């Protein structure tokens, strides 16, 4: 899995490795995994965040701790919940696609005994999945930051200085780097682990011809465990 991930990463990072076919395939995957779901995911995240923001704000106001409400919203939603939510959403969507038979080309190829084109099929999908996690997390975070401002200060610009100061206090260099690193790791995990598991499964099926008809996406448990590990590690580094 690590070898697969490293190979995909190396191919992705070198522009000379990308052919026209490869770029078109990558564009198609980005369109499918990000463009199509971005509005709905952003809307769902905004609604969910709005509920949480209201709960935190009303509770903080009732206890006279409103000065900490904004910081708590940013820390909980932007730094923790939204990246994790984006990663889980992309993983869940890939799992649903697998169950519906529209899975990754590797698995599809494995099941249909077609040869797997690592360069033109697998790598674009890996890149698109990682990009999807990053995009969903970034756009949703931006929307949530705006929602938090509107909920706390209302439709006025007078709170911008105070709000900016609070955001600046939360995003110190270590936290910002941790946030970026965590989101990238989430993206890589969601992109690499299921794909590597599918390739492994296809090789096993090619040898044994057992035709495993499992409806569970390969590597799903491993993925969730890794996501949990990244999140726990991030929390431990930040707060312990």
Stretch 156-185: interaction string toward another protein, x if CB under 8 A: --------xx-xxx-xx---x---------
Rank residues 124 and 226 by Cβ distance to another protein and give the closer one: 124
75 part of the interface to another protein, by CB under 8 A: no
Stretch that binds another protein, among 11-19, 138-146, 151-159, 206-214 (CB under 8 A): 138-146
Size of site (CB under 8 A) for another protein: 40
Q: Tell which one of 101, 155, 157, 211 touches another protein (CB under 8 A).
A: 101
Counting beta carbons within 10 angstroms of the beta carbon of residue 184, is it exposed (0 to 12), middle (13 to 18) or buried (19 or more)?
Answer: middle
In this structure, what is the dihedral angle of CA atoms 96, 100, 105, 108, given to the nearest 10 degrees? 130
Stretch that binds another protein, among 30-38, 50-58, 81-89, 224-232 (CB under 8 A): 30-38
40 part of the interface to another protein, by CB under 8 A: no
Which helix (H) or strand (E) segment holds residue 112: the answer is helix 105-112
Stretch that binds another protein, among 23-31, 51-59, 148-156, 194-202 (CB under 8 A): 23-31
Stretch that binds another protein, among 10-18, 105-113, 190-198, 216-224 (CB under 8 A): 105-113
Q: Tell which one of 46, 50, 76, 108 touches another protein (CB under 8 A).
A: 108
Rank residues 9 and 97 by Cβ distance to another protein and give the closer one: 97
Report CA-CA distances (Å) from 231 to 9, 87, 93, 199, 237.
Answer: 22, 11, 20, 26, 10
Q: Tell which one of 30, 56, 82, 197 touches another protein (CB under 8 A).
A: 30
A 10 A CB-CB count for 144 gives 24
Rank residues 3 and 64 by Cβ distance to another protein and give the closer one: 64
A 10 A CB-CB count for 210 gives 8
Report CA-CA distances (Å) from 149 to 73, 145, 154, 158, 165.
Answer: 10, 6, 7, 11, 12
Report CA-CA distances (Å) from 18 to 15, 26, 36, 128.
Answer: 5, 10, 24, 14
Rank residues 12 and 226 by Cβ distance to another protein and give the closer one: 12
Q: Which residue has the tokens 């794909």?
A: 195
Longest Cα pair distance anywhere in the chain, in angstroms?
Answer: 68
Within its chain, how far is the Cα of 233 from the centroid? 17
Closest separation in Å from C-beta 31 to another protein: 5
Task: Write out the residues near another protein by the rule CB under 8 A.
Answer: 23-32, 34-36, 38, 65, 67-68, 97, 100-102, 108, 111-112, 125, 131, 134-135, 138-139, 141-142, 164-165, 167-169, 171-172, 176
């Amino acid at each position: 899995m690590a070898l697969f991930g490293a190979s995909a990463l190396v191919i992705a990072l070198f522009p000379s490795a990308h052919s026209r076919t490869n770029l078109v395939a990558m564009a198609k995957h980005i369109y499918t995994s990000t463009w199509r779901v971005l509005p709905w995911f952003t809307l769902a995240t905004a609604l969910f965040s709005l509920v949480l923001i209201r709960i935190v704000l009303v509770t903080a106001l009732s206890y006279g701790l409103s000065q900490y409400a904004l910081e708590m919203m940013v820390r909980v939603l932007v730094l923790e919940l939204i990246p994790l939510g984006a990663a889980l959403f992309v993983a869940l969507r890939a799992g649903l696609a697998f169950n519906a038979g529209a899975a990754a080309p590797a698995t599809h190829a494995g099941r249909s005994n077609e040869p797997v084109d690592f360069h033109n099929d697998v790598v674009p999908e890996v890149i698109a999945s990682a990009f999807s996690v990053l995009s969903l997390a970034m756009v949703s975070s931006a929307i949530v930051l705006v929602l938090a401002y509107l909920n706390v200060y209302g439709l006025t610009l007078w709170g911008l200085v105070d709000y900016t100061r609070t955001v600046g206090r939360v995003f110190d260099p270590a936290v910002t780097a941790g946030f970026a690193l965590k989101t990238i790791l989430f993206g890589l995990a969601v992109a690499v682990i299921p794909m590597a598991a599918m390739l492994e499964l296809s090789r096993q099926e090619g040898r044994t011809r057992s035709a495993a008809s499992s409806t569970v996406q390969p590597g799903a448990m491993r993925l969730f465990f890794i996501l949990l590990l990244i999140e726990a590690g991030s929390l431990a580094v930040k707060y312990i």
